[in-house]
Structure 1
Amino acid sequence: MKRILLSLVMTMAAIVSAMASHTVTHEGAWCWFADPRAIHYENASGSINASYIGYIDVHGNVKATQIDFRNNRRTEVLIRSVFQPDDHNNPTFIVLPDERVMIFYTRHTDEPKIWYRVSVKPGDITQLGEEKFISTKNNTTYPSPFILSDDPNHIYLCWRGINWHPTMARITMPDANDNVTVDFGPKQIVQSTGARPYAKYHSNGKDKIYLTYTTGHPDNEMPNWLYFNVVDINHGNGPILKDIKGNTLQQVADGVFRVNKSEAYLNQYPFTVVDHTPGVRNWVWQIALDQDANPVIAYTHIDNAKTTHAYHYGRWTGSEWRDTWVQLGGHAFHQNWNRTERCYSGGMALDPENINTLYLSIPTKEGAYNKEGVYEIWKYNVADNGKVESSEQLTRNSDKNNMRPYLLPGSKNSALRLAWMHGDYYYWMVNKHYPKGYPTSIVADYNLPEEKVDLGNGLVTQAKGCKKFSVAATFHQEKDGKRTSDATLFASDQLTVGITTDNYIFVNMGKGSKAKSVKSGNLFATADNWAFYSIGTSGDTHVTPITDAMLTTTYDGATLRVYRNEVLELYIPCKGLKLKNVRCGNLSTNLQQWSRALNQDEVGALSNKR
């Protein structure tokens, strides 16, 4: 009864203002275990001020949007095509000491590799280096990277790997060719009695990585305990696993630390357990640190029937974990909540810059919690004494659910702080049992830059030596995509753009000694056939040739860009190009030309008109 009254009081006291949401991408999703799935970075000199938001779409495209605040420009970038279409595979980011951005991504549980790409220039992911991978002996999921000042020459990478358990390795910084070396690990950190502990990680940026994890998947564990450990990197001399009091549990190099959910374990290791409430299926959402470097954890309690979720806020006081019941979260948020993944809460996010603030996805009707309502984003404040002191509904009257909110690390002074998923959600993977998968968008609390769209400006029937230009080609090929030779979209005196026999975009530019050829690292295809042939995470692949698309090439006098529909695929620095005598290729059905470089919003408008 007290909780119901508290909910009513908070609702009545809620501020009635609504937060506008703005679309980052119309096709994108993320899980909540691979982080940071988005970051903000700005340097002291002011030369970099940007946010990077990553996601994967239902076509198997791993993508990211960069918001460059210095130049007020938004760019959506293709990181990898034809990836396993699964929302567990969203990319994660880290900014290297030289300020280049490194992007990690993995398939979900069925490949022993961790993929990565590194930006060519500091703070700018519009041009990415060659795709690389780290080989592992075990399948991988959820990469979470850290750089710590006590060991500035390494990246500490955590993921779910060995025996489906929390795993870590130490890798060298990328060299001039973006290659890295694993010089410690991979090592399994802990061993649970559950089959799949789910872990979240955080660091203090100096010498410690914090991890909180469950006994296993809440579908399978009842009760499902919540644990907390600290990895001390030991000045790079080999990580040591400790409890929250600083007691050594295990040298990570020497083997795993074993946890279970027994009374005997609790008595022996009391400072490794956050929550062991009877009759509760715990799941974890995030860790952050308060101003005293004490950890705060956002987690959910799910009942035995998996029909009622409750949001909790746990804070270490220096002597104990203090639990705050914040609000009910309804049942699982998605369209198939009553028959699959019933432990998928709408989601929680802590504000790492203001640890008293958290954001929740709550089913709502008429400004109040309602288990059958549309999931809206709410902001809650929990006082230092553990009491809920205010709540505010941020999104209102939404046509579809809002879920999995996330605060961008480093965004304290940024206009863009909060992002989340919006839309329908049927399953975490596209396959023949759930062919729609996760057709969601990513939205944010900031009105992203929009450039002027004026497709009539500079439109010409035939370019005649233009030093700046754009060419849009409507692409078509037969369904199987098979050809015996390279085919062109268009050709001109100094520039040819086309598709190779093995389905990669190529660009040939210049003449004679200045001639240059560039080939995309991304297969010109999708993963759409997963919807017809795949049954799950079984290592399969179903490459689907693209039959129709818009490919747009722009040149601003210094950089040639090639867009696949609205997404940037190739960024090629070059000078001295001119567009003259453009001829239609054998893969294009229509060409349009401009005597200027189109911006990405114009490219998107072209693609939407197809």
Structure 2
Amino acid sequence: MRAKLILPFLILYLFCHLWPAQGHEVTAEGAWCWFADPRALHYENKKGTINKTYIGYIDVHGNIKAMQYDFKKKRQDEVLIRSYFQPDDHNNPTFLVLPDERIMIFYSRHTDESCFYYRISRTPGDITTLGDEKVIKTKDNTTYPSPFILSDDPEHIYLCWRGIGWHPTVARLSLPDQDDQVKVDWGPYQIVKSTGARPYAKYMSNGKDKIYFAYTTGHPDNEEPNFLYFNYIDIRSLQLKDVRGNILSAIADGTFKVNKTTDYVRRYPSTLVDHSSARDWVWQVASDENNHPVIAMVRISSDKNSHDYYYAKWNGHEWKMTFLANAGGHFHQTPNLEKCYSAGMAIDPSNTNHVYCSLPVDGKQGKVYEIIIFVLNEDGEIASTEAVTKDSQYNNVRPYIIPGSEDSPLRLTWMFGNYYDWIVSSRYPQGYCTGIACDFKGFPDAKKKKNLVTEKNFKFNPKKAFTLEQTVTLDAAHYQGTLLQLGDLEYYLDGKTMKPEVRYKGKVYTSSNILGTSDCWKTTSRSTGGKWYTPQKYESFKLKWEYNKGVLCVYINGLLDQKIEIK
């Protein structure tokens, strides 16, 4: 009987702890949607003091996480940004480098809460030093935060998302003050108004004065045909313009209306990328060396069973469409669910003639989605293709080229594994059993731990480095109290907040995260209903403390939760 109970959990564990082929694991548990960007970022400063890559994702336990790799120190850290969040892959974090070089991380729930959350690193370039969680309140629901700072207005943050009326929305924020608070000083404004219920938009900026975005009439599940449009926001005039620079609206004065009628096509031809009979969806918008937009998009058949990848490029006169490949149907394991979920595309923003596509390929393990690079010539024709992954056991999907990484060896990332649904629920409790892989093989190997101690008879000495690892067992009925005591150094769990605290000589250092998970969603209906369910308490967890030269790092189940200067 015991074996019968263990087997399903073992299978689920194996599904959620897979290994990528021809790639290198960033994390065993993580996923992302493709509309909130940049989901990863590389940053090097001119002084040469910062050279790091940040990759963000969310796991099925509701942990919003990020991997930081420091190329100078050759050190890899996985950081817990937020525990106990809505376990939904739409909620992956996005990154922004502030003028003072601190890293700002945005995240929000999928659709059902009228606010954004953010945390900012206390130290330039180092997300292991995140400050407290802050909130930006809005009047409307939020999904897919895409933040920008542009050189023509370096005193503001421009934030785009799906917000007012489920439509593309923009606001201008102040830079964080000394308490890391920001204020909305323009907007939020709905940018366009579609006849479709939910236009889907992808954004990018030229870094100077424009925010480009491509968007659909609505969701391809509901719209046939589903047109694809392109506009840009001119931040100097705060106007919406088409690809030729024609003014469509003053954003603060009202929304620009789009539809699929013959009259609209005749009146606004320069707003349209594609108005075929297909169900279009958009994967990425980028800008080539001439500052012309290029777009990765998919045309989905009427029955949703056939997905064609296209590359659309504006040549200064018209959009040139290049068919790349047929991607089969939806990539995931669940039949008749989200049939418009293609396996994914990515344009290299530093060389926009390179496009990475996830395609079904017959290999040693059967038909599996593999990453293929398409190289296009200057005429937009396919010059060559090459396999990035090969003979994989599990699907490789949703590729992404890390912005700013053109001089870095860590460039391409993707999801790998089994995928059942975008949210954890009683209907599909497995959710998204995927990890994140990349093309970088230089991650450090596990090293022998220095100064490893056990709790027994050990007392904290601030002059001596140490590493301590242990499994902490908890009582759900009495979920509070001292979890670890090392002389004057104490690890305490607050029973009311469920947040752990480091205590030392009268000072209390409280975690921003609760000691619990969102596994409670496994017993609830499949819904974005806006509820926060009772957190799932740990029966046990792995605790690690690393202390050196006055700095204590606290890890929970391998994730860096707190980095504290002990004084």
TMscore range, shorter length: over 0.9
SS at match of 1:439: strand
Matched, 1:574 2:566: yes
SS at match of 1:385: coil
- Matches for 1:174-193 after TM superposition, within 5 Å: 174-193=176-195
Which of 544, 552, 559 pairs up with 1:560?
A: 552
Matched, 1:396 2:390: yes
- Whole-Å separation in 1 of the counterparts to 2:553 and 2:252: 46
- Whole-Å separation in 2 of the counterparts to 1:413 and 1:141: 31
TM-score by length of 1: 0.87
Counterpart residue number, 1:359 = 356
- Whole-Å separation in 2 of the counterparts to 1:136 and 1:490: 40
Counterpart residue number, 1:578 = none
Counterpart residue number, 2:522 = 531
Deviation at 1:547, TM superposition (A): 1.6
Counterpart residue number, 1:219 = 221
Q: Which one-letter code corresponds to 1:246 in the other structure?
A: G
Q: Which one-letter code corresponds to 1:306 in the other structure?
A: K
Task: Confirm or deny: 8 A CA contact 2:64 2:85 kept in the other structure.
Answer: yes
Counterpart residue number, 1:265 = 264
- Whole-Å separation in 2 of the counterparts to 1:73 and 1:259: 49
Task: Confirm or deny: 8 A CA contact 2:460 2:489 kept in the other structure.
Answer: no
Deviations 1:175-222 (A, max 9, x none): 111000000000000000000000000110000000100000000000
Counterpart residue number, 2:509 = 518
SS at match of 2:327: strand
Task: Confirm or deny: 8 A CA contact 1:110 1:538 kept in the other structure.
Answer: yes
Give 5+ residue unaligned stretches, structure 1: 1-17, 576-610
Deviates more, 1:101-110 or 1:515-524: 515-524
Deviations 1:264-299 (A, max 9, x none): 001100000000112x00000001111000000000
Identity among equivalent pairs (%): 52
Deviation at 1:472, TM superposition (A): 2.5
Q: Which one-letter code corresponds to 2:324 in the other structure?
A: V
- Matches for 1:85-164 after TM superposition, within 5 Å: 85-164=87-166
Task: Confirm or deny: 8 A CA contact 1:420 1:442 kept in the other structure.
Answer: yes
Matched, 1:487 2:481: yes
Matched, 1:56 2:58: yes
- Looking at CA atoms only, which structure, 1 or 2, has the larger radius of gyration? 1
Counterpart residue number, 1:294 = 292
Task: Confirm or deny: 8 A CA contact 2:112 2:529 kept in the other structure.
Answer: yes
Which of 367, 378, 392 pairs up with 1:373?
A: 367
Counterpart residue number, 1:579 = none
Q: CA RMSD in A?
A: 1.6
Deviation at 1:533, TM superposition (A): 1.7
Counterpart residue number, 1:505 = 500
SS at match of 1:522: coil
Task: Confirm or deny: 8 A CA contact 1:473 1:489 kept in the other structure.
Answer: no
Q: Which one-letter code corresponds to 1:435 in the other structure?
A: P
- Whole-Å separation in 2 of the counterparts to 1:200 and 1:533: 31
- Whole-Å separation in 2 of the counterparts to 1:431 and 1:75: 30
Q: Which one-letter code corresponds to 1:547 in the other structure?
A: E
Deviations 1:429-464 (A, max 9, x none): 001111110010001000242254325864455336
- Whole-Å separation in 2 of the counterparts to 1:330 and 1:465: 59
Task: Confirm or deny: 8 A CA contact 1:88 1:141 kept in the other structure.
Answer: yes
- Matches for 1:232-311 after TM superposition, within 5 Å: 232-234=234-236, 239-278=238-277, 280-311=278-309
Task: Confirm or deny: 8 A CA contact 2:493 2:499 kept in the other structure.
Answer: yes
Task: Confirm or deny: 8 A CA contact 1:93 1:104 kept in the other structure.
Answer: yes
Counterpart residue number, 2:171 = 169
- Whole-Å separation in 2 of the counterparts to 1:490 and 1:343: 50
SS at match of 1:521: coil
1:439–1:533 CA distance, 2 compared to 1 (3 A): same
Task: Confirm or deny: 8 A CA contact 1:421 1:442 kept in the other structure.
Answer: yes
Q: Which one-letter code corresponds to 1:224 in the other structure?
A: N
Which of 205, 208, 211 pairs up with 1:209?
A: 211
- Matches for 1:30-45 after TM superposition, within 5 Å: 30-45=32-47
Q: Which one-letter code corresponds to 1:388 in the other structure?
A: I
Counterpart residue number, 2:3 = none
Task: Confirm or deny: 8 A CA contact 2:449 2:467 kept in the other structure.
Answer: no
- Whole-Å separation in 2 of the counterparts to 1:157 and 1:531: 32
- Whole-Å separation in 2 of the counterparts to 1:327 and 1:452: 40
Matched, 1:408 2:402: yes
Q: Which one-letter code corresponds to 2:361 in the other structure?
A: T
- Whole-Å separation in 2 of the counterparts to 1:465 and 1:75: 24
Task: Confirm or deny: 8 A CA contact 1:298 1:349 kept in the other structure.
Answer: yes
Task: Confirm or deny: 8 A CA contact 2:460 2:487 kept in the other structure.
Answer: no
Q: Which one-letter code corresponds to 2:210 in the other structure?
A: K
Q: Which one-letter code corresponds to 2:56 in the other structure?
A: G
Deviation at 1:468, TM superposition (A): 1.1
Deviations 1:516-572 (A, max 9, x none): 211111111100010112331001122111121011122112210111110000000
- Whole-Å separation in 2 of the counterparts to 1:327 and 1:79: 37
Counterpart residue number, 1:10 = none
Task: Confirm or deny: 8 A CA contact 1:201 1:287 kept in the other structure.
Answer: yes
Task: Confirm or deny: 8 A CA contact 2:453 2:467 kept in the other structure.
Answer: no
Q: Which one-letter code corresponds to 1:124 in the other structure?
A: D
Give 5+ residue unaligned stretches, structure 2: 1-19
- Whole-Å separation in 1 of the counterparts to 2:272 and 2:493: 56
Matched, 1:435 2:424: no
Matched, 1:549 2:551: no
Deviations 1:338-376 (A, max 9, x none): 310000001000000001001000000149xx9x82000
- Whole-Å separation in 1 of the counterparts to 2:457 and 2:362: 57
- Whole-Å separation in 1 of the counterparts to 2:291 and 2:102: 28
Matched, 1:68 2:70: yes
Deviations 1:355-409 (A, max 9, x none): 1001000000149xx9x82000000011110111100011011110000000000
Matched, 1:342 2:339: yes
Deviations 1:80-109 (A, max 9, x none): 111000000000001001000000000000
Counterpart residue number, 1:382 = 376
Deviates more, 1:212-221 or 1:467-476: 467-476
SS at match of 1:359: strand
SS at match of 1:147: strand
Counterpart residue number, 1:588 = none
SS at match of 1:423: strand
Task: Confirm or deny: 8 A CA contact 1:298 1:348 kept in the other structure.
Answer: yes
Q: Which one-letter code corresponds to 1:276 in the other structure?
A: H
Deviation at 1:493, TM superposition (A): 2.2
1:270–1:140 CA distance, 2 compared to 1 (3 A): same
Q: Which one-letter code corresponds to 2:269 in the other structure?
A: P
Q: Which one-letter code corresponds to 1:432 in the other structure?
A: S
Task: Confirm or deny: 8 A CA contact 1:360 1:380 kept in the other structure.
Answer: yes
Deviation at 1:130, TM superposition (A): 0.9
- Whole-Å separation in 2 of the counterparts to 1:548 and 1:32: 34
- Whole-Å separation in 1 of the counterparts to 2:165 and 2:271: 21
Deviates more, 1:423-432 or 1:490-499: 490-499
- Whole-Å separation in 2 of the counterparts to 1:377 and 1:434: 26
